[in-house]
């Protein structure tokens, strides 16, 4: 019974945070480790790789949708529709979960089905409705075939080899670093 109440509380807090954050300007969400220069460029190589992966449509089976297609910064890294659409406009069962402030969270997704960012990042990519990749190996091959990734992997991990672990780490690092900085909720918490 306690887990049910905790789940309801987590969903309620996420919904309130999503509502509050959606009304704010996109620059109210930043990277937590101050990895941006004055022009907004990501300085950390692993975050940069994660950012490129996050916005790359090559991670979907038909090259049409990226993580950032549904997790839009202007909407607290969520979307503004009741139910999100995947590749080929397939309709999912929920809207995209807001991605800010996930560092240290042990309950991920609306239904709490995962507790680790490293595995969470693969679920939408491999989902038959969301991004439609058939397997992690297919994803690795797809990323490996894009010429710009060898250099990005070298800068992030010291090797041009594209691996599932590297994709997971980079995406997780980028997502974990997305934190709110000046939403009305943040202002309220600060007093």
Is pLDDT at 164 greater than 80 in this prediction? yes
CB 133 within 8 A of CB 139: yes
> Looking at per-residue confidence, does 159 or 111 come out higher?
159
Task: Give the pLDDT confidence score for residue 168 in this predicted structure.
Answer: 92
CATH number of 2-190: 1.10.760.10
Is pLDDT at 28 greater than 50 in this prediction? no
Calculate mean pLDDT across residues 18-46. Answer: 46
Helix (H, G, I), strand (E, B) or coil at 27: helix
Residue written as token pair 């240290």:
104
CB 138 within 8 A of CB 54: no
User: What is d(CA 7, CA 112) in angstroms, rounded to the nearest whole number?
Assistant: 8
> Would you list the domain boundaries of the chain?
2-190
> Looking at per-residue confidence, does 44 or 24 come out higher?
44
Residues 6+ apart with CB under 8 A from 162: 140, 143, 144, 149, 150, 153
* Three-state DSSP string of 12-59: HHHHHHHHHHHCCCHHHEEECCCCECCCCCECCHHHHHHHHHHCCHHH
Q: Please give the model's pTM, rounded to 2 decimal places.
A: 0.70
Helix (H) or strand (E) holding 19: helix 2-22
Confidence of residue 108 (pLDDT cuts 50, 70, 90): low
Phi then psi dihedrals of residue 120, to 5 deg:
-60, -40
Confidence of residue 123 (pLDDT cuts 50, 70, 90): confident
Task: Give the pLDDT confidence score for residue 16 in this predicted structure.
Answer: 35
Strands 178-180 and 29-31, bridge-based pairing: antiparallel
User: What is d(CA 191, CA 185) in angstroms, rounded to the nearest whole number?
Assistant: 10
> How large a percentage of the chain has pLDDT more than 70?
67
- The token pair at 182 is 């000046």
């Amino acid at each position: 019974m306690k887990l049910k109440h905790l789940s309801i509380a987590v969903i309620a807090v996420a919904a309130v945070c999503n509502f509050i954050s959606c009304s704010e300007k996109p620059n109210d969400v930043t990277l937590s480790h101050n990895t941006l220069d004055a022009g907004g460029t990501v300085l950390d190589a692993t975050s940069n790789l994660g950012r490129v992966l996050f916005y790359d449509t090559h991670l979907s089976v038909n090259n049409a949708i990226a993580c950032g297609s549904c997790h839009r910064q202007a909407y607290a890294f969520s979307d503004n529709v009741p139910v999100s659409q995947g590749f080929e406009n397939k309709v999912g069962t929920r809207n995209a979960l807001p991605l800010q402030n996930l560092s240290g969270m042990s309950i991920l997704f609306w239904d709490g089905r995962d507790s680790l960012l490293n595995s969470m990042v693969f679920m939408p990519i491999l989902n038959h409705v969301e991004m439609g990749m058939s397997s992690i190996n297919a994803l690795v091959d797809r990323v490996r075939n894009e010429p710009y990734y060898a250099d990005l992997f070298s800068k992030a991990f010291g090797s041009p080899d594209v691996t599932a672990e590297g994709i997971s780490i980079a995406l997780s690092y980028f997502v974990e670093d997305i934190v709110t900085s000046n939403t009305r909720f943040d202002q309220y918490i600060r007093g």
